[in-house]
Amino acid sequence: AQTVTQSQPEMSVQEAETVTLSCTYDTSESNYYLFWYKQPPSRQMILVIRQEAYKQQNATENRFSVNFQKAAKSFSLKISDSQLGDTAMYFCAFMFYGGATNKLIFGTGTLLAVQP
């Protein structure tokens, strides 16, 4: 069974600085996708970034980028130039590609606080 582990329950960063959130996963599948979702205090789940496992190039979306290490089964999220609006719970998620469901397997989340 696939599992996703986020070992940092809480993190704090100063505004304008860079922070990295960690995520590791365990799977025997070779075709899968990885995601980072953001959940602000409004509770809305917002997709931040996604990575296809077959791509070696790390995904980037503006100030958000990932460090995808397939052999190590690691998928960290780097937030550059942190902003107050980045304060949220961040979830790492895994999805097996090609199955009969789009089931997302989530980690337990990292609560990020951006300090002014």
CB of 57 to other proteins, least distance (A): 16
Burial grade of 64 (CB within 10 A; 0-12, 13-18, 19 or more): middle
CA atoms within 13 A on the CB side of 61: 10
- Residues 91 and 4: their CA atoms lie apart, in Å, by 10
Please identify which residue in 59, 107, 112, 114 interacts with other proteins, judged by CB under 8 A: 107
Which region, judged by CB under 8 A, interacts with other proteins, from 16-24, 56-64, 71-79, 95-103? Answer: 95-103
> Hey, what are 53's tokens?
């496992």
The residue whose two tokens read 């696939």 is 2
Residue type present at position 116: P
Could you say whether residue 99 binds other proteins (CB under 8 A)?
yes
Could you say whether residue 33 binds other proteins (CB under 8 A)?
yes
Instruction: Supply the DSSP string of 50-67, one letter for each residue.
Output: EEETT--SPPEETTEEEE
> Hey, what are 63's tokens?
């100030």
Please identify which residue in 4, 21, 49, 59 interacts with other proteins, judged by CB under 8 A: 4
Which region, judged by CB under 8 A, interacts with other proteins, from 15-23, 57-65, 68-76, 101-109? Answer: 101-109
Please identify which residue in 41, 57, 101, 116 interacts with other proteins, judged by CB under 8 A: 101
- Residues of this chain that bind other proteins (CB under 8 A): 4, 33, 42-47, 50, 52, 91, 95, 97-104, 106-109
